């Protein structure tokens, strides 16, 4: 796992060859807030890495124990949207996870925005009646799914209430 500081945040590399282990963590800082990007092989055994990164970021952001618990579960369930779907390709694919601290708009508190993205076919999407998706909605302040140009993204937003920008 490497960590580098860059003055701007970048999109994760998508040009990895099939079968090439794609485990990398990059960090960047823009305007005093940070972005961490983590790519894992699309494999259930790797989701623990995403939970771990989420937990450490949460600690740095000063989340309470309860909030940390919820965040770890939320990122896990977000990965599950892809990995548990029978429609998901899997082999050779990566899940790209992005943890971004963003300033609040118009007096709103700053947020931790987490996105989990992967290539998806037209039939893959969250089952809104699935217990995992329902729980996910209760764990974060905003939850959304978007599929665009063959890439599906689960987006989670956690408001960082009571913290300075």
Give the binding site for other proteins (CB under 8 A).
44-45, 47-48, 51, 65-66, 69-70, 72-73, 76-77, 79-80, 83-84, 130-132, 134-135, 138-139
C-beta closer to other proteins: residue 14 or 51: 51
Q: How far is the CB of 122 from other proteins (least distance, A)?
A: 24
Q: Please say which residue, 61 or 71, places its beta carbon nearer to other proteins.
A: 71
**Least distance in angstroms from the C-beta of 50 to other proteins:** 11
Residue in 28, 84, 32, 63 with CA at minimum distance from that of residue 140? 63
Beta strands 142-148; 151-159: pairing state: antiparallel
Q: Give 48 or 165: the residue with its C-beta nearer to other proteins.
A: 48
Q: Is residue 29 within 8 Å of 11, Cβ to Cβ?
A: no
Write out the H or E segment, with its range, that includes residue 96. strand 94-102
User: What is the closest distance, in whole angstroms, from the C-beta atom of residue 30 to other proteins in the complex?
Assistant: 32
Write down the least CB distance from residue 79 to other proteins, Å: 8
Q: How many CA atoms lie within 13 A of 25 on its CB side?
A: 13
The residue among 42 and 110 lying less far from other proteins, judged by its C-beta, is 42
Handedness of CA 45, 49, 52, 58 (dihedral sign): negative
């Amino acid at each position: 796992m490497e960590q580098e500081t860059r003055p701007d945040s970048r999109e994760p590399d998508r040009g990895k060859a099939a079968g090439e282990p794609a485990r990398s963590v990059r960090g960047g800082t823009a305007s005093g807030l940070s972005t961490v990007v983590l790519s894992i092989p699309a494999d259930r055994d790797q989701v623990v890495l995403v939970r771990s990164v989420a937990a450490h970021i949460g600690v740095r952001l000063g989340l309470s124990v309860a909030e940390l618990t919820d965040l770890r579960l939320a990122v896990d369930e977000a990965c599950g949207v892809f990995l548990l779907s029978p429609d998901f390709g899997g082999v050779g694919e990566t899940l790209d996870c992005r943890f971004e601290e963003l300033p609040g708009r118009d007096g709103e508190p700053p947020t931790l925005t987490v996105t989990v993205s992967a290539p998806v076919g037209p039939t893959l999407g969250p089952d809104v009646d699935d217990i995992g998706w329902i729980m996910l909605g209760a764990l974060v302040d905003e939850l959304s799914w978007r599929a665009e140009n063959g890439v599906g993204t689960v987006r989670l937003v956690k408001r960082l209430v009571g913290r300075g920008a």
